[in-house]
Structure 1
Amino acid sequence: MSGRAAVEGPDGKFRCVWPGTDPLYLAYHDTEWGVPEYDSRALFEKLLLDGFQAGLSWITILRKRDAFRAAFAGFEPEKVARFTEADVERLLGDAGIIRHRGKIEGAIKSAQAYLAISEREPFADFLFKHFDGRIVQNAFRTHEEVPTETAVSKAMSKDLKAAGFTFCGPTIVYAFMEACGLVNDHLTDCFRWQECAALTRDPRLPA
């Protein structure tokens, strides 16, 4: 099948094509993207950031991530859930983040939804139930083979929306799944494919 396969970088390593040559993007690809994340708060942060990405590129959000963390109280759900209209106005005036009222207000609603879920079960468990506790190990050779949404991302999106989360359509959720290592979508010739594959066992499960 024709398409964009992994490309060789100046260091001799083959990588997925999407980071290009941007040093920040390359570091993100090489150290974060596709690494299984099991921490509920970290998953919450990434889902909110992916929501802010809607209509934009991820590198835009990545460059603003530290500013987002400062503006949103370290993405502590308990704190974000208590944000008021004064906080919304403060955030709308913060040039370091994406100043979009709907996304800002949506993040507050999502934090409230997170707390409601956490009263019943850990947020990580709420997400992982869609995988029967197992990371999906894909084996795509070209960028064009990688889907933008799946039946799982549609089901997860539906559950998140029903719980009160916003900006979590199936495409956003699939990007979130990839970034947090719920699926391993590094291309098979990318040096990170094998490394992330070795991390795909959920440590919470019995041996």
Structure 2
Amino acid sequence: MKLIIFFFFCLFSVFSYTQDLAILKYKGGGDWYGNPTALPNLIKFCNDNINTKINPKPQTVEVGSSDIFQFPLLHMTGHGNVFFSETDAENLSNYLISGGFLHIDDNYGMEPYVTKELKKVFPDKDLVELPKSHVIFNIEYKFPKGLPKIHEHDGKRPQAFGLFHQNRLILLFTYESDLGDGWEDPEVHNDPPDVRERALKMGTNIVKYAFEN
């Protein structure tokens, strides 16, 4: 009975918290804290351009904590290992199917670990590549070619993968794009203004989609 009450409390929390986002802290030794200036810059861009009122200082929440249910959008990044315990996986699954959204941005090197751990969260779901026509590429800014390429690593094309629940996109995994690097302060990677703008606009699409769907 207590578990049922807790679940419905969490469900209410996701829908009642209107606009905010948080950084997802995970186990395994990967640098979940990477790109420290990225989210503050993305938040400022969203607040300035699509009239959001997001807290300019994103909070950090642990994947196994009930605190994740306070946020309609979680952002996860890093370069290396990711590990979800059974409790972490169950908590994240409940969060996502109750209305939450997770954006995982591979900062180079996360992919083999993330795909393995997501099977703990949803054993019966597979990541599927999103078509260029998906609404997330058009909801505010237009990306007719799909996910933009921000940083070069292995010469591979950028890909956006998703997990769906009842036809709703609940998780976005951006691969070989490195959006977060493009959101960082200009002097961090010395990206040209047009590259940073593309990254910020795609990030804004993600935020808007997560808040409205």
Task: Provide the TM-score with structure 2 as the length reference.
Answer: 0.25
Q: Which has the higher contact order (CA 8 A, sep 6+)?
A: 1
More helix by share: 1
Q: Which of the two has greater strand per residue?
A: 2
